[in-house]
Amino acid sequence: MNIILVSGKLTRARTLTLSSPHLVLGAAAVLLSVLVLAFGLQYFMLRYASGLNSPLLKTLILSVQQEHNEKMQSYLRENLNAMASKLGQMQAQLLRLDTLGERLARTAGFKPQEFMFDQAPARGGAASTLPTYDLSFGDLGRQVELLIRQMDDRTEKLGILDSLMIIDSAKKKLLPSVLPVQGGWYSSNFGWRIDPFSGTRAFHEGVDFMAEVGTAAHAAAGGVVAYSDFHPQYGNMIEIDHGNGLITRYAHLSKRMVKMGDVVLSGGRIGDVGSTGRTTGPHLHFEVRQNGAPLNPARFLRLPG
């Protein structure tokens, strides 16, 4: 760009040539001057605003402060809402953990009251000698996120443990561990003995519980009734299927209270002791069989005597 200067005081015209660098420097100088002026004006307004009685200036300052306060309040509300949502999630997780803990305690044979799930854990100790500091919103949020992840992990692991304990408990309930006669006494064991009818050595495939006629006979474990009828040698006989090829047999009953296909619970009454079939007197003959082969009931029952 060429600028020609013409004046009566000059003997001849002068020409100024401005290149691109000159124009850029000029524009930068103008912009810098404007910025310095704006910052100076702002500093002056903020520094001496309290001493000025300009309503317009005070209104402007109040407007800026109000906008700043509204932004801070909005930020706080958003963070508080997020924290409240996370707190609700944690409360739901704690309720699940308490319920799961009570169920695990019952499954393990403990009383849930012993663990006081409804009370906060007691804590205490001397005041810390190390420096303390207040948590920021960011620190608090990270701590809550970490706690939620830990609770999810514990819930998953306790859920797996609960399932395993339930399965183990169910298996135990299907094992013939309950005495079929309460109060009766053990009169004949499992194995080789002298047959009371023939006088020869014969294998006894169960155990006998001597009791009065009418004494209640109980299921040694839960299962499905596979047989309930009169047998020529066993008399009134009931067989209960406990799964996996395991059955229990109850013979010489005076009365049968269940029929084929009934589901019975462990310890449930299924009939009365009697003296039907091949027997010398009132008693309950009890057998345990696995895939048809006789097993010693003493492996499962805690026998008297």
Model confidence pLDDT, tens digit, residues 22-51: 667 777 888 888 888 877 766 666 665 555
Q: What radius of gyration, in Å, describes the C-alpha atoms of the chain? A: 46
Residues comprising the chain, all counted: 305
Can you give the pTM of this predicted structure? 0.50
Highest mean pLDDT among 133-147, 153-167, 184-198, 199-213: 199-213
Of residues 7 and 201, which shows the higher confidence score? 201
For residues 6-30, b (16+ Cβ closer than 10 Å) or e, as one string?
eeeeeeeeeeeeeeeeeeeeeeeee
Distances (CA, A) of 227 to 238, 244, 249, 268, 286: 5, 17, 9, 16, 14
Residue 288's pLDDT band (boundaries 50, 70, 90)? Answer: very high
Q: In whole angstroms, give the CA distance from residue 24 to residue 32.
A: 12
CB atoms within 10 A of CB 103: 15
Question: What was the pLDDT predicted at 126?
Answer: 78
Average pLDDT over residues 112-132: 68
Q: Which range is least confidently modeled, 45-49, 156-160, 168-172?
A: 45-49
**Between vectors from CA 246 to CA 268 and to CA 204, what angle results, nearest 5°?**
90
Q: Given a cut of 70, is residue 246 above it in pLDDT?
A: yes
Q: Given a cut of 90, is residue 13 above it in pLDDT?
A: no
Q: Which range is least confidently modeled, 47-56, 91-100, 258-267?
A: 47-56
Question: What was the pLDDT predicted at 208?
Answer: 94
Q: Who contacts 248 (Cβ-Cβ below 8 Å, separation ≥6)? A: 176, 180, 219, 220, 221, 223, 239, 240, 242, 286, 287, 288, 289
Q: Given a cut of 80, is residue 173 above it in pLDDT?
A: no
Residue 235's pLDDT band (boundaries 50, 70, 90)? Answer: very high
Helices (H), the chain: 20-47, 55-107, 137-173
**Block residue for tokens 């155990």:** 207
Q: In whole angstroms, give the CA distance from residue 305 to residue 294.
A: 21
Cβ pair 21, 10 in contact under 8 A: no
DSSP assignment of 88-132 equals: HHHHHHHHHHHHHHHHHHHHTT--GGGGTTTSPPP---PPPSS--
**Mean pLDDT taken over the chain:** 79
Average pLDDT over residues 272-283: 94
Question: What was the pLDDT predicted at 29?
Answer: 81
